Chain A
Amino acid sequence: MGVILEAKNLHLAFKGVKALVGVEFRVAEGEFFAVIGPNGAGKTTLLNVLSGVYEPDEGEVTFLGQNLRGKSPQERARMGLARTFQGLEIFRGMSVLDNVKLGAELALSTYPLALPRAQREWQIRAWAEEVLDYLHLSPFRHAPAGMLPYGLQKRVEVARALASRPKLLLLDEPMAGLSLEEKQDLARFLLDAQEEWGVTLLWVEHDLRAVLELSDRVLVLSYGEVLYHGPPQGVRQDPKVAEAYLGQA
């Protein structure tokens, strides 16, 4: 399998706070890649660098063979790099359907000129409905997204990101604040998306059990440095990880 995303020697500092120090990793196409680490380890910063909210001070990110330096978040989104946020960053005033349609537009935007407006609109609708159905959100399609319970709002965000048919989906703590049942549902949706649509997943997550069960490979960060990069089985055995993250026993 080819490499879809490659980070080389990423450095980023905020006025002396070193958020990323020489971070390097590769994500293979179609894999479920996890980034974990204690609070302040630079996980979200890493996602912000990948999705283009921050530019790294040094180093480069290659996505699908292209260097991402200087590319704005919307350009990256158009290349197939979708993202969800740690806090809820959905469009609260828009209906669930509109949220998903907004994502879906990216998927269909390669041939917008060929389609008359009305036709394009219902094509987007059809695809958005498919995504809604897939994530079991159909009954809520016309509800304003901000009025839904927390777990569903999280799912709306995932739906919006998946609707753009991303090649790589970055998830920032998708399971935070969910009940066990909701976590299981979400895990199933993500695994299905990986399998059926060939989406590569990169997620930041605190729920260690879920990470070790679901992920193909794990990157452990601490104070911006890579402590471990490899299969999940090795995480618990690694002495550096145990010290920094799991606590000294």
Chain B
Amino acid sequence: MYPLSKQLTDAFSRRFARAVRETYREDEAYASTPLGRLALGVFLLFLVLLPFLLSPYPMYVATLVAIGALSALGLHLLVGGAGQISLGHAAFMGVGAYTASHLYGPLAFLGILLGGGIAALLGLVLGLPSLRIKGVYLAIATLAFQFLADYVFKNWEGVTGGIRGRTLPPAELFGLALDTPEKLWYLVLFFTLPLFFYGKRLLMTRAGRAFMAVRDNDLSARVAGVDLVRVKLMAFALSAFYAGVAGGLLTQLYKAVTPEYFPLTVSIQYLAMVIVGGAGTVLGAVLGAFFVLLIPEVLNSLVGALGPQYAATLAAWRNVAFGLLILAFLILEPLGLVGLWGRMRNYFRTWPLPY
């Protein structure tokens, strides 16, 4: 009896549960264990089937979160990766959004890409001050860009529609209008998944190491052969590209764009996502986006559940609760959601015998 059960569990371990990677090559690969591949497959399937599982409003929120996560990942590459700070992230999203608003209907696909491209070009320009200044000073420079962009959005009426903004018909794909969040979800996935894969891979390989070297010690990075100028400009452009694409997708979701969507507070919100999520990983950006975008929804529904007579008073407290949550989080778990996740994973991995 014993040998049989041992044989079976051994076979199982070899086949599926091989958590130990035996060669360096496997260790470098993406989702290298069979179990990891399985989990990845299930997760992708879940994403594809999501519209069939959720009712319209949660689906709308899910789309919003996915777009937010994409943009947060862009900022994460810049802040967590290359260590450059930016308070102008919302402005790049705005650039992408306004560009996309001009190429609607069947051209939506192109518009979103172009929005990313134009944002990336502006990102290159904004990257220039980072070659000279660091930290707080760079934050002020990017802040200036944010205000400038805000001004342009409000006043360049011919292109942006001024204060009233622009509305646009839904995106179309082969004559099929993507007019609901369920349908739009696939457009979002189409852009988001490859960009996530790219972002993750980037941070794990050569370019990512160059980014992190600049973050940790730029003098040493130069002497180790890293081209500072290229890395910084590339980080800004890449981050802006992600933001631009996210902005374009957001336009398709709202079917409108006004300057109010991209104020400074949104830039700060994205920084909050990166910080709450935890530095250093792609997962952190996603979890941060979840947290920052979902908690208000949860608080909303809580307020709603208590009844309309309290709604007005509680609405004000909602923001306070949200702020307190973020604060508590940073104090209790400085590594962010990723740190929490890592501890949970280690707990379960070693579960019956933790030592």
Contact = CB atoms under 8 A, between A and B. Distances in A.
Given A91-B212, A98-B209, A53 B225 contact: no
A128 to B, nearest CB: 9
B217 A73 contact: no
Contacts of B6: none
A15 interface: no
A117 B204 CA distance: 11
Interface string A99-112: 00111011001000
Contacts of A161: 224
Interface string A28-52: 0000000000000000000000011
A77 B216 contact: no
A39 to B, nearest CB: 21
A94 interface: yes
Contacts of B29: 118
Interface stretch (B20-28, B40-48, B62-70): B20-28
Interface residues of A, number: 36
A238 to B, nearest CB: 32
B223 A92 contact: no
Given A118-B28, A121-B28, A98 B212 contact: yes
Nearest to B30: A118
Given A89-B217, A91-B213, A94-B216, A121 B224 contact: no
A78 interface: yes
A163 to B, nearest CB: 10
A58 B225 CA distance: 25
Interface in A70-93: 72-74, 77-78, 82-83, 85, 89-93
Contacts of A82: 223-224
B319 interface: no
A74 B24 contact: no
B280 A90 contact: no
A122 B220 contact: no
Given A74-B225, A164-B224, A129 B24 contact: yes
B230 to A, nearest CB: 10
Contacts of B221: 91
Contacts of A118: 28-29
Given A73-B222, A90-B220, A91-B216, A105 B24 contact: no
A103 B221 CA distance: 10
A135 B222 CA distance: 23
B227 to A, nearest CB: 6
B131 to A, nearest CB: 13
A93 B220 contact: no
A125 B27 contact: yes
A210 interface: no
A160 interface: yes
A11 to B, nearest CB: 23
B285 interface: no
A242 interface: no
Nearest to B80: A93
B226 interface: yes
Q: Is the interface of B mostly helix, strand, loop or mixed?
A: helix
A74 B280 contact: no
B213 A102 contact: yes
Interface centre among B201, B225, B227 (most CB of A within 10 A): B225
Contact of A51 (B27, B205, B213, B223): B223
B205 A74 contact: no
A176 interface: no
B243 to A, nearest CB: 24
Nearest to A117: B205
Given A89-B219, A164-B225, A102 B209 contact: yes
B206 interface: yes
A178 to B, nearest CB: 19
A246 interface: no
A143 interface: no
A102 B224 contact: yes
* Max chain A C-beta neighbours (<10 A), residue from B210, B216, B221: B216
Contacts of B210: 102
A121 B205 contact: yes
Contact of A77 (B28, B204, B206, B224): B224
A90 B216 CA distance: 8
Given A90-B217, A93-B215, A102-B213, A53 B224 contact: no
Nearest to B26: A122
A126 B206 contact: no
Nearest to B220: A89
A164 B209 CA distance: 14
Contacts of A83: 223
Contacts of A106: 224-225
Contacts of B27: 125
A237 B28 CA distance: 56
Closest 10 CB pairs of A and B: A77-B225, A89-B220, A91-B216, A122-B25, A73-B222, A106-B225, A125-B24, A122-B28, A102-B209, A74-B225
9 contacts: A74-B225, A74-B227, A85-B220, A89-B223, A94-B216, A105-B209, A106-B225, A122-B25, A124-B206
